[in-house]
Amino acid sequence: MTDTIQSEIHAILQAAIRAAISAGELSIPDVPDIPFSPTKTPEHGDFATPVALGLAKQAKLPPRKIADTIVAHIEVAAHPQIRQIDIAGPGFINIHLSDEWLYATLRTIVAEGDAYGTCDKGAGQRVQVEFVSANPTGPLNIVSGRAAAVGDTLVNLLNAVGYQAIREFYVNDAGGQVERLGTSIDVRYRQALGETGLQIPEGGYEGEYLREFAQAIADAEGDTYLQLGAAERVSLFRDRGIAHILAQQEASLERFGVQFDVWTSEKAIRDSGKPEEILQLFRDKQYLYEAEDATWFRMSAFGDDKDCVVIRRDGEYTYFVPDAAYHRDKFDRGFHQVINFFGPDHQGHVSRLHNFVKALGLPDDWLEISIIQQVNFVNAEGHREDMSKRRGKFLTLDALVDELAGAIGERFAVDVARYFFLMRANNTHLDFNLELAITEANENPVFYIQYAFARCWSILQKTAEHGITPRRIDKVSLELLTEPMAHELIRKLSEFPALVLFSAEAREVHRIAHYLHELAGLFHPYYNQHRVLDAAHQERTQARLVLTRAVQTVLKNGLALLGISALEKRM
RNA sequence: GCGCCUAUAGCUCAAUCGGAUAGAGCAACGGAUUUCUAAUCCGUAGGUUGCAGGUUCGAUUCCUGCUAGGCGUGCCA
């Protein structure tokens, strides 16, 4: 549990502004939001805030004057971690921290270990994250892999900052698509038994995996199912197909390091009576009307450009009904916040689902939907292939991991795939460069980070060989860490808890990935220029060992959030 | 047509929700190796942030309009 220096500074600034207001020196109604951030250059101190700039208009004073007033209410001497506060440029307040702050950071990291970076901001609130939710009609594709990595990591982040988040997979095991799965398997089954002139029906699934699945049934059980009526056979193959594909998807996810806490069946939702309840609710609220032999929902009343059908001409529900019921169900389960990750092919559904949630009378900000954008696979020749599942041609997650594993081994394959999926913002298209992914060199960020970890580990392993016994941190002279590089490293380490919190709340998992790369990018140069283990300088060695341990801890904690292994040795 | 996303160095991308001089990696060029694991490091070079306006102390970030690319727009889920 980390109490960040940021929250301390925030409190100090807040108190100073409040004091200035009550002293009548600032005529503003209340303490505003105080934006502040680590600085980019050391000249500007360690943290800086432009809060005075923002208040200028409201307080009717020049920004520098406001900054003066605020700073006058901070007693620097009372805060040992603050060395100096000055005002620069148009009115920035720059806070220079003392070296004591750096040492305190190291002590915190060493003391907290695995817990460094966590906090209790979420206050135990329950959050549900639904992701992947691929149809049980085929293997997981690349975008599902990306969604799996992102969703899994977001849950890790949310749990790290004190929420109780769970992973949930919605199984679309009812409706037209799985019917067509049944008919597709039926065709393949009969073909396997030698029947000719059959074709996969329009909208069916042509993938090779169904041919294999049907062949296996034919091999093991022969033509027994031909005696059934067509409808019965299709329905049987549908259910077996769903079970088979679902098991396959689960295995792929497990291989990828993702385990879902809850699998919710659409069929179960349909059978629960909830669809009828919400339809009645919609009817009572006059959201429904009949036209063209179907039942429509007034989506236009919510700002959409057209209404949509909820009960088809043939009496079947469209997917909107179970989907709305599913979200009602999520709400009834008591989640404080629900986050859905949808694939790029579902973007038309985003505003509609929001509207249904509104129509159900649920709070607008309760549901959050992010689109996981397309993944372009850049192959060895540099060609792009798009991953559209509907066109029948797609690369599966397993195929990707297989491909990587062939080059760099199974464990690294998963690490690299996860990192590559996590290094871009969710809503941007992602180019997956396979050539780069299998490179065991510095241009591969995963190896770069893992190598930094391995170096830390190795140093800590070799202390005895060099006649050094690591001491407890309170017996170490941390002030011997004099190099600017060491300071920069510790500063970076200190940012980790705030970053974890920010990433979780902004749902921006890629920031962790970038951070780790930057941290490794500070450690490697330090390692090259400053030898840690040096029997001739025992005291300094002790101090550098603490720094090494701290770097190792943060790398380990960060990688754990991303679900990437921290390996001690080269494979 | 309408909607969503994207556009930043030659390439792939960052930039902590509007802050100070826009940062990394790759590729290019020049260096470091009897190492605490070279999976590394040091240096050089690289920019009118797609275009045009607007908002303001201040814009890669917000607004409007263009341009280009991707995706979506079913009585499929």
- Cα separation, A119 vs A101, whole angstroms: 19
* Residue A383 burial (C-beta neighbours within 10 Å; 0-12, 13-18, 19+): exposed
State, as a whole number of angstroms, the distance between the CA of A234 and the C1' of B16. Answer: 54
Q: Which two tokens stand for residue A201?
A: 């029906």
ipTM: 0.94
Nucleotide nearest to A40 (CA to C1'): B20
Domain with CATH 1.10.730.10 in chain A: 104-119+441-562
Q: Which two tokens stand for residue A457?
A: 């580990």
State, as a whole number of angstroms, the distance between the CA of A433 and the C1' of B11. Answer: 12
Nucleotide nearest to A178 (CA to C1'): B77
Q: A2-97 in CATH: which number?
A: 3.30.1360.70
Answer yes or no: are the C-beta atoms of A368 and A110 closer than 8 Å.
Answer: no
Answer yes or no: are the C-beta atoms of A539 and A99 closer than 8 Å.
Answer: no
Residues paired with A317 in a beta bridge: A311
State, as a whole number of angstroms, the distance between the CA of A545 and the C1' of B27. Answer: 37
For residue A288, what is the enclosing H or E element? strand A288-291
Render pLDDT for A530-565 as a digit per residue (tens, 0 to 9): 999 998 999 999 999 999 999 999 999 999 999 999
- Cα separation, A401 vs A439, whole angstroms: 15
Supply the DSSP string of A26-54, one letter for each residue.
S--SS------EE-SSGGG-SEEE-HHHH
How big is the CA angle at A96 (ends A90 and A98), to the nearest 5 degrees? 170
Q: Would the CA dihedral through A468, A472, A477, A482 be positive or negative? A: positive
Q: Which two tokens stand for residue A34?
A: 């105080």
Instruction: Give the list of residues 6+ apart from residue A205 with CB closer than 8 angstroms, or none.
Output: A137, A138, A180, A181, A184
Instruction: Give the list of residues 6+ apart from residue A393 with CB closer than 8 angstroms, or none.
Output: A385
State, as a whole number of angstroms, the distance between the CA of A196 and the C1' of B18. Answer: 67
State, as a whole number of angstroms, the distance between the CA of A326 and the C1' of B9. Answer: 48
State, as a whole number of angstroms, the distance between the CA of A504 and the C1' of B70. Answer: 27
Give me the pLDDT at residue A215, please.
97
Residue A2: band (very low, low, confident or very high) from pLDDT cuts 50, 70, 90: low
Q: Mean pLDDT throughout A64-88?
A: 92
- Cα separation, A266 vs A262, whole angstroms: 13
Render pLDDT for A241-296 as a digit per residue (tens, 0 to 9): 999 999 999 999 999 999 999 999 999 999 999 999 999 999 999 999 999 999 99
Nucleotide nearest to A317 (CA to C1'): B75
Q: Mean pLDDT throughout A91-103?
A: 93
Nucleotide nearest to A424 (CA to C1'): B13
Out of A36-45, A221-230, A514-523, least confident range: A36-45
Instruction: For residue A149, give the nearest of A372, A361, A364 by alpha carbon.
Output: A372
User: In the predicted model, what is the mean pLDDT of chain A?
Assistant: 90
Give me the pLDDT at residue A387, please.
42
Rounded to 10 degrees, the C-alpha dihedral A300/A304/A305/A311 comes to -60
Residue A391: band (very low, low, confident or very high) from pLDDT cuts 50, 70, 90: very low
* Residue closest to sugar C1' of B70 by CA: A429
* Residue closest to sugar C1' of B35 by CA: A528
State, as a whole number of angstroms, the distance between the CA of A347 and the C1' of B72. Answer: 6
* Residue closest to sugar C1' of B40 by CA: A524
In the three-class reduction of DSSP (H, G, I as helix; E, B as strand; rest coil), residue A341 is classed as strand
In the three-class reduction of DSSP (H, G, I as helix; E, B as strand; rest coil), residue A430 is classed as strand
Q: CA separation (Å) from A49 to A26, A44, A291, A312, A319?
A: 17, 10, 59, 58, 49
* Residue closest to sugar C1' of B13 by CA: A424
Q: Mean pLDDT throughout A148-167?
A: 96
- Cα separation, A177 vs A204, whole angstroms: 8
State, as a whole number of angstroms, the distance between the CA of A401 and the C1' of B71. Answer: 26
State, as a whole number of angstroms, the distance between the CA of A461 and the C1' of B2. Answer: 63
- Cα separation, A169 vs A155, whole angstroms: 13
> What amino acid occupies position A559?
L
Nucleotide nearest to A89 (CA to C1'): B20
- Residue A323 CB neighbour total at 10 angstroms: 20
Q: Mean pLDDT throughout A327-334?
A: 96
State, as a whole number of angstroms, the distance between the CA of A432 and the C1' of B2. Answer: 31
In this model, does residue A510 exceed pLDDT 80? yes
Q: CA separation (Å) from A420 to A149, A226, A341?
A: 9, 47, 18
- Cα separation, A100 vs A81, whole angstroms: 6
In this model, does residue A167 exceed pLDDT 60? yes
State, as a whole number of angstroms, the distance between the CA of A203 and the C1' of B47. Answer: 49
- Cα separation, A205 vs A203, whole angstroms: 7
Q: Mean pLDDT throughout A327-353?
A: 92
Instruction: Give the fold, CATH level 3, of A104-119+441-562.
Output: Isoleucyl-tRNA Synthetase; Domain 1 (1.10.730)
State, as a whole number of angstroms, the distance between the CA of A508 and the C1' of B68. Answer: 27
* Residue closest to sugar C1' of B18 by CA: A54
Nucleotide nearest to A315 (CA to C1'): B75
The protein footprint on chain B, as nucleotides within 7 A of a CB, is 2-7, 12-21, 23-27, 36-42, 56-58, 69-77
Nucleotide nearest to A447 (CA to C1'): B39
Nucleotide nearest to A498 (CA to C1'): B16
Give the helix ranges, DSSP H, for A409-437.
410-422, 434-437
Q: CA separation (Å) from A421 to A145, A149, A408, A415, A538?
A: 8, 7, 17, 10, 43
Domain with CATH 3.30.1360.70 in chain A: 2-97
Nucleotide nearest to A38 (CA to C1'): B16
